[in-house]
Structure 1
Amino acid sequence: MIETLVFGSIIYWMTGFVATAGGFLFFELVVFLTSMMFAAWFFFLAVVSPDMNVAGPITMFSLFFFTLFCGFVVTKGQIPDYLIWMYWFSPQAWGIRAAAVNQYTDSRFTVC
């Protein structure tokens, strides 16, 4: 939790997000929940894998797909219909959408 607080504090203010306490706390919550989800996901993969030699590649492969289909590398409109479920399954996609809604719906948001 400490690393989430430190990371979120640095990133939030360094990127110039809306300077409100509510926006900052919501961002910290999103970062924390995303971190906990990945911890749970990797724990699950470690439990179902027979050994570390199998768990390592599986976790990297799943992380690759989460990152690829989160809507940042490949946007939602570019994802084929038969793979759109990966977009909705990706925890990174939920975190990115939550952070975007948190920032862009605030009345104090200013366009560069």
Structure 2
Amino acid sequence: MFGIVFWQTGSTIKQQQDIFNILGLIYGSALFLGFNNCCILQPVVATKRIVLCREKAAGTYSTLAYAIAQVAIELPYMLVQVFIFATIVYTMIGFQMTANKFFWFLLYMVLSYMYYTLFGMMTVALTPNIEIASGLSFLIFIFWNIFSGFMIGREMIPVWWRWVYWANPAAWTVYGLMFSQLGDRTEPILVPGQPNQTVREFLEGYLGLEDHYFNLITYLHVVVIAFFAFIFFISLKYLNFQRR
């Protein structure tokens, strides 16, 4: 569906709207698919947690082994799903067919799916039931969406709210995907009411996507994935909401 709606959008960029179309595609691909994956996973994790609490009390399960297994079992599914999606959509969109750019697209999609998945698992482990976990996730996802850089560009966010942007994993993903695909493009585009700019100049001036933050964004993905996994393990180990 994404490939059909945005068919060959990335092949020719002539005006500001073309960049916004690509931004919408990247926003939808990374955030909505990750959100759906998180929501589907949460009931499964909640059901398995009941078994863990019972078996852990009997001395059968190790919390660390269970946490590692729970994370590891999701990896093949995520990798296959992302690879199929990225291969089809990347080609249909018309992004530049280079190994380097496809690698970055694939990498950020994998990292995005990983932190969404681990976030869903973490919220289940932190809360007493699936209803509260789902509500908490939805509330946080609202902030992730608003401050992702799609609805409001970073340069347009009031200074006192920009810390939310920099603390937002969804914004990092949009940043990484946009800059990795368009950050080196220098063809001029038409910007209504302003002199013509290159694609890169528009990314820096309007969206705030700059080269010197690119590596930091990548490292932050790894950090937040490790953080969510750690909180998931700690919550499983020390929080027990079962009542007799």
Return the alpha-carbon distance in structure 2 between the equivalents of residues 104 and 97 of structure 1: 11
Name the residue aligned to 1:33: 111
Compare 36-45 and 80-89 and name the one that shifted more: 80-89
Which of residues 122, 127, 139 is equivalent to 1:61? 139
Name the residue aligned to 2:171: 93
CA contact 1:87–1:93 (8 Å) conserved in 2: yes
Q: Scaled by the length of structure 1, what TM-score is found? A: 0.87
Instruction: Tell me how far 1:11 sits from its aligned partner.
Output: 2.1
Name the residue aligned to 1:19: 97
Name the residue aligned to 1:81: 159
Cα distance change on mapping 1:5 and 1:111 into 2, 3 Å: farther
Cα distance change on mapping 1:74 and 1:105 into 2, 3 Å: closer
SS of match in other structure, 1:98:
helix
The two structures, once aligned, show a CA RMSD in angstroms of: 1.9
Cα-to-partner distance string for 1:2-47 (whole Å, 9 max, x where unaligned): 1111111122122211110111011101100011011111111111
Letter in 1 for 2:179: V
Unmatched 5+ stretches in structure 1: none
Q: Scaled by the length of structure 2, what TM-score is found? A: 0.42
Name the residue aligned to 1:45: 123
Moved over 3 A (4+): 109-112
Instruction: Work out the percentage of aligned pairs sharing the same amino acid.
Output: 26
CA contact 1:18–1:106 (8 Å) conserved in 2: no
Return the alpha-carbon distance in structure 2 between the equivalents of residues 69 and 33 of structure 1: 19
Return the alpha-carbon distance in structure 2 between the equivalents of residues 96 and 10 of structure 1: 19
Unmatched 5+ stretches in structure 2: 1-78, 190-244
Aligned residues: 111
